[in-house]
Chain A
Amino acid sequence: MVELGALFPMGWFQTLCHVVAALALPPLVLGIINKTKAAFAGKVGPPVLQLYYDLFKLVQKRMVVSRTTSWVFFAGPVGAVVVGVLVSLLVPLGDHRAPVSFAGDMVLLVALLGLSRFLTVGAALDTGSPFEGMGAAREVTFAALAEPGLFLGLCALVVLSGQAALAPMLAAASQAWGAQAGTLALVLLGWFIVLLVENCRIPFDDPNTHLELTMIHEVMILDHSGPLLAMALYGASMKLFLLISLLLALCLPRTGNAPLDWGLFLAGVGAAAVLVGVVESVIARLRLPRIPLLLVSAALFTGFAFLLSLVKR
């Protein structure tokens, strides 16, 4: 097994491009999703850049902070952004490489997302609100059921590629569509479900719902306002963007021409955002007791992918 773990495999310019893209693009994804949904509903919808405007506005506002809360309340949104930045250094974007790469880095990626969840849930519980407790309980429940699916997909890709570091593993796997299309398709399918649940999208959670009782992520940040809310929203959009990039790395072709690769990547992000928008427009949110079934099927998809990768090795 070859280790591609040299310190900083990318030059400074590529690293800069990577970081700028990872920091600047995430809010755009939500804009595209909302435009798509508006188009399905026959509306004009908010501008594609709406989240940028919102963030700009929120950062300038002052905060309303509950008297019940402690430092944990601040740790949630701050943690979401910090984790987003760290994860962005591990995920390959346009040129199929990541600034930081070592064998086993995908475990760090998932654990960092776990850290962000720990802090967000803690911030929600810090308010002492029953609504936010409810959202937090749902969040950890569904995340726990989604985790095996994510990791079984990683197992399949490790076997398929013979690599244990994320970026080279995804790069090698994306070249294997000819030989192992079934494995890769199952991993993609399973991970798409994981992506939807991790980011609290329909059919798991409706980000636009109006009632606290039906929310998951939105209810956890109910009490955050001003810059804190901006951080929570920005962190959530980064998570969505990075998980989309992870899926894209599996299915985008590689031309070897850096500008062309970046162009393909941007088009891919747009297409994935449209896909999420379409999913949200054509299906309804599931009843809460049904959600675990879908999550178990995600684990089954990636589990079968793992078995298939072993057979076709």
Chain B
Amino acid sequence: MAPVIEGCLWAALLGAALSGVPGYWDRRRGALLGPLILSLSAASALVAAALVWGSGAPVALALPIAGAGFLRCDGLSAWFLVPVFLLPALSAWYGKAYWDEDHHPESARRVRLWLGILAASMALIVLAHHAVVFLTGWELAALASWFLLNGDESSEEARRAGWLYLAAAHVGTLALMAGFCVLGGGGAGLGFDAYPARWADSAVAFPAFCLLALAFGIKAGAIPGHIWLPSAHAAAPSHISAVMSGIVIKMGIYGFFRMIQWAPHPPLWWSGVFLALGSLSGIWGVALALGQHDLKRLLAYHSVENIGIILLGIAVAAAGLSLGRPALVALGLAGGLLHTWNHGLFKSLLFLAAGAVIRATGTREMDRLGGVGRLMPVTGFLFALGAAAICGLPPLNGFASEILVYLGAFKGLADWPWAGAVVASLALIGALALACFTKVVGTVFLGNPRVASPHIAGEAPRTMRWPMAALAGFCLAIGLAPSLVVPLLKASMGAFAPGFDAAHGLASWSGFPMMSLLYAVLLAVLLPLLWLLARTRRRAEVTWDCGYAQPSARVQYTAVSYADGLVRNLRWFLWPERSKPKVEGIFPASSRGVVRVTDLVMERGLAPIANGVLWITHRLRFLQPGRIQLYLIYMAATLIFTLFWASSHG
């Protein structure tokens, strides 16, 4: 079986990496061939993943010259391979209409090329079994995302966001290099085989944990490493935002899962760190999302929130490993892994649907939209479905993964009281997400059209609709019958912790089948009610307006007012800036009131520090006047100093 798997994986890797190349010979056919080749790669990767799960043993891939030991596919890699190929493939089809040759003649084929390279480089990350390969994939993925997010070259916003992204990504890469160096010390080398032994040494484990957690945290967008994420996701073309949010940030999560796998007996404080990162990202992320007026920025902050939920699952698993409670490990890992898939599915769906709206109206400002659901019914329905899924509502997939984390936390309460914080955080996150997504659905898709909605000419083209429908189908399928993914989860978790049985607490749990049963009851209750409504006569009228004679679309509750109650209640950590409109006299002049929720980490934390550094370096500019003689003197002085220093230290 191993040669088949190896062949499939190489086909997927090479196919994805080269999928954009034909477009450089023939624009028209390239537009079709790119998504097609990427889809075939995805199919090939799915076959490989299924075979790896089926065989239960990791498969090593030999590199042409360097030989074996660099690439390996185990259950965990297989779990991540699925979205790594599936989401870019679906986005590529969507992009065929969304970012087409006619409207973007310069960048369409470049975006296609880098999208394929991005998928291949992420596959390289999850298949890597050696630090150098991992870092290569990591850097390639970062660069590919940067090229993609600059798809629109004329956009200053995208360039600024790209700059911030590049800086953040490289801080992460530096930390990652340092971390791998720490782990590779003591003659261990850079292969991942030696890592479990190295993690057991606490003198190595502490600095390595800090460095890797920094790198993976920045990539995943966990607060406070999220600073690059909102602007990057907002500025990128929507199908690229879908890929970045759906899977690129999950590479950080993949790293966290690998750390747990390398260190099967982590100290208990690890789970504390994961809990702190998770609840901070979750609660603050969703609170910041509540304050956004820009549709895509809001969705971006929800990625931060969902990364928090995944980290809470990892926290439960880490606590289970430290305390020797296999049930917690199984539930925490399963919840975290499943939520990784689920978030990839519904967040891509939401970004694609948002992209369809933005393409039709030309604005991302929610308060300029409204009533879009009646003009674009399919997009509206799919967005509402994704919104319900991201709020963790049954019978959709978000709930299936969240209940696993909840259950793990409930079971851990007796030994690990901090599980109470996991439960309370999840509860608050879920309820705030519901508030935020009712705001989005209500403001953008329901009600009366506001200023920008009349630009809508009709529903999105079919090439854009079916990838969204496919994602929605996955959300529904996993939600309605979550038992289907349990065997895959078990096979993926087989790689973790020697002696840990993934079946623990999952296979014996009757929750998933019972949930499916209840959803069947749901249908049975639904049908008679619909019958009753269908036979009722109805009369069309205006909405109850309290007798007001001239209702206008502008009297509707806006997104800002909808969220204002919660923003006020959370003001002690959101610090919203607000200016009240002046209403004076009998005939008040026109006036504006603004509520702005800014990112404290960026605006009050990092930006002032960066400005301080800039100020100092400006003052030191005289050292670098651009005269070559001076630089030669510097070099000579450094050499002399080094010689003296070396000789005096023998």
Residues of A in contact with B (beta carbons under 8 Å apart): 1, 3, 5-7, 59, 62-70, 72, 74, 78, 81-82, 85-86, 89, 100, 102-105, 107-108, 110-112, 114-115, 117-118, 121-122, 125-134, 136-138, 140-141, 143-148, 150-152, 154-155, 158-159, 162, 164, 212, 222-223, 226-228, 231, 292, 299, 303, 306, 310, 313
Contacts and interface: CB of A to CB of B under 8 A. Distances in A.
B384 to A, nearest CB: 7
Interface string B253-290: 00000000000000000000000000000000000000
Nearest to A302: B424
B514 A136 contact: no
- The list of the 9 closest CB pairs from A to B, nearest first, reads A133-B557, A125-B442, A128-B447, A144-B431, A140-B435, A147-B431, A151-B427, A104-B407, A141-B565
A222 B544 contact: yes
A66 B509 contact: no
Given A114-B392, A141-B566, 9 more contacts: A67-B540, A74-B533, A82-B529, A107-B403, A111-B394, A128-B556, A148-B428, A227-B533, A292-B569
Interface string B561-579: 1111110010000000000
B446 A152 contact: no
Contact of A129 (B443, B517, B543): B543
A150 B403 CA distance: 16
B406 A107 contact: yes
B648 interface: no
Nearest to A63: B538
A66 B540 CA distance: 6
A122 B446 contact: yes
A100 B556 contact: no
A67 B541 contact: yes
A148 B561 contact: no
A231 B525 CA distance: 12
B413 interface: yes
Contacts of B448: 68, 128
Contacts of A103: 407, 410-411, 509-511
Interface size class of B (residues with CB under 8 A): 35 or more
Contacts of B439: 140
A10 B393 CA distance: 27
Interface core residue of A68, A107, A121, A127 (most chain B CB under 10 Å): A107
A141 B435 contact: yes
B539 A64 contact: yes
A137 B536 contact: no
Contacts of A122: 384, 438, 441-442, 446
Contacts of A150: 427
14 contacts: A78-B533, A82-B522, A89-B518, A100-B518, A114-B392, A117-B434, A122-B384, A127-B447, A130-B557, A133-B447, A134-B557, A136-B442, A141-B565, A145-B431
A122 B391 CA distance: 14
B458 interface: no
B374 interface: yes
B576 to A, nearest CB: 15
B532 interface: yes
A69 to B, nearest CB: 8
A192 to B, nearest CB: 18
Contact of A223 (B380, B410, B530, B544): B544
Interface in B389-409: 391-394, 399, 402-403, 406-407
A137 B380 CA distance: 21
A306 B509 CA distance: 25
A122 B380 CA distance: 12
Chain A at the B interface: mostly helix, strand, loop or mixed? Answer: helix
B428 A147 contact: yes
B537 interface: yes
Given A103-B511, A111-B392, A137-B557, A227 B536 contact: yes
B125 interface: no
Given A78-B530, A107-B407, A127-B447, A7 B514 contact: yes
Interface in B353-392: 370-371, 373-374, 377, 380, 384, 388, 391-392
B407 A128 contact: no
A228 B431 CA distance: 26
A128 B532 CA distance: 25
Contact of B420 (A3, A68, A110, A155): A155
A141 B436 CA distance: 10
A261 to B, nearest CB: 24
B244 to A, nearest CB: 27
A159 to B, nearest CB: 5
B546 interface: yes
Nearest to A115: B393
Contacts of B428: 144, 147-148
B616 interface: no
B402 to A, nearest CB: 8
B432 interface: yes
Contacts of A226: 536, 538
A43 to B, nearest CB: 28
A128 B543 contact: yes
B431 A72 contact: no
A65 B435 contact: no
A19 B610 CA distance: 64
Contacts of B427: 110, 147-148, 150-151
Nearest to B532: A227
A65 B540 CA distance: 5
B393 A86 contact: no
B185 interface: no
A65 B533 CA distance: 12
Given A63-B539, A72-B373, A81 B525 contact: yes
A126 B447 contact: yes
Contact of B410 (A64, A138, A158, A212): A158
A115 B442 contact: no
A132 B539 CA distance: 20
Nearest to B438: A121
Given A72-B384, A78-B530, A145-B569, A5 B509 contact: yes
Given A5-B509, A133-B561, A292-B569, A85 B521 contact: yes
Contacts of B384: 72, 122
Contacts of A140: 431, 434-435, 438-439, 566
A58 B438 CA distance: 28
A174 to B, nearest CB: 19
A18 to B, nearest CB: 13
A108 B521 contact: no
A7 B413 CA distance: 26
A147 B511 contact: no
A154 B423 contact: yes
A62 B539 contact: yes
Nearest to B448: A128
A147 B530 contact: no
A136 B440 CA distance: 13
